[in-house]
């Protein structure tokens, strides 16, 4: 069999980039899906993979991503739904358009992509789907109504797809990190400092790491290692699970 194929959304930076690099190192042919053409094309070239510019809020582009991946490689073995973004604001000030955009990108797009890859994985008799959730798939924090709602919904989607996928060889799991050292988190630090009227240092120590037993940010490659495990033969009976990499956050 030729080398397996993986689609990674939000693949151009942060956690997505680390996942793309880790999969490529294991001989996967990687499709880097992102809205950032410059970074996405550069990474795809570096990994000898494929870049597909994808706006996850556009359902047609989600479908096109899968179609272009099949056209390029003829199969899809792994789908990592990692794309997302943050908007931090109190509910009373939360813009409806931001709510709609975040639900679209982080919940509707994973559903559409799962639906699109499903027939190919089913025909192969195998497939791995990994949804990047968050510690906020289980707990809540201030000012993140849309993000937390989307991540809670993503766990429901994960479990339902796992039940339907088991009989046809498709496993579906989620990974729920706490704060990871990424450009997205760097932006959150600034936004939280403004909303809470505290320093950025205090945001890290008093907000992001407040509930952590391990007092540090998680590195992106630590998340990528979990993805590799869930893609491996050793995880063949692992499905419908939500894997915490949360520095002990949810132990309280």
Q: What gap in Å lies between CA 217 and CA 208, rounded to an integer?
A: 8
Q: What gap in Å lies between CA 43 and CA 164, rounded to an integer?
A: 34
Residue 2 burial class via C-beta count within 10 angstroms: exposed 0-12, middle 13-18, buried 19 and up: exposed
Sheet of 170-177: strands edge to edge?
50-53, 29-34, 5-9, 78-81, 127-132, 170-177, 242-245
Q: Mind telling me the catalytic residues?
A: 147
* Cβ proximity of 147 and 102 under 8 Å: yes
Strands (E), the chain: 5-9, 29-34, 50-53, 78-81, 127-132, 170-177, 242-245
Q: What gap in Å lies between CA 79 and CA 82, rounded to an integer?
A: 9
Buried b / exposed e over 220-240, threshold 16 CB at 10 Å, is beebbebbeebbeeebeebbb
Take residue 141 and report the two structure tokens written for it: 């924090």
């Amino acid at each position: 069999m030729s080398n397996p194929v993986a689609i990674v959304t939000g693949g151009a930076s942060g956690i997505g980039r680390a996942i793309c690099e880790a999969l490529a190192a294991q001989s996967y042919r990687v499709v880097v899906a992102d809205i950032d053409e410059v970074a996405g094309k550069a990474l795809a070239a570096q990994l000898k993979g494929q870049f597909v510019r994808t706006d996850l809020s556009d359902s047609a582009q989600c479908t096109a991503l899968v179609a272009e991946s099949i056209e390029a490689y003829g199969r899809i073995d792994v789908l990592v739904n990692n794309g997302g973004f943050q908007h931090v604001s109190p509910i009373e000030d939360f813009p409806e358009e931001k709510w709609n955009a975040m639900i679209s990108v982080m919940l509707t797009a994973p559903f559409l992509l799962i639906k699109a890859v499903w027939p190919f994985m089913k025909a192969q008799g195998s497939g791995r789907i990994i949804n990047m959730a968050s510690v906020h798939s289980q707990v809540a924090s201030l000012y993140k109504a849309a993000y937390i709602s989307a991540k809670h919904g993503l766990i429901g989607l994960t479990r339902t797809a796992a039940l339907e996928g088991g009989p046809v060889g498709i496993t579906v799991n989620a990974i729920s990190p706490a704060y990871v050292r990424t450009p997205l988190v760097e932006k959150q630090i600034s936004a939280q400092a403004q909303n809470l009227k505290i320093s950025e240092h205090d945001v890290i120590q008093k907000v992001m790491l407040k509930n952590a037993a391990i007092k540090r940010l998680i590195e992106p490659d630590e998340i990528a290692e979990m993805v590799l495990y869930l893609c491996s033969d050793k995880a063949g009976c692992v499905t419908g699970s939500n894997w915490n990499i949360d520095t002990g956050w949810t132990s309280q």
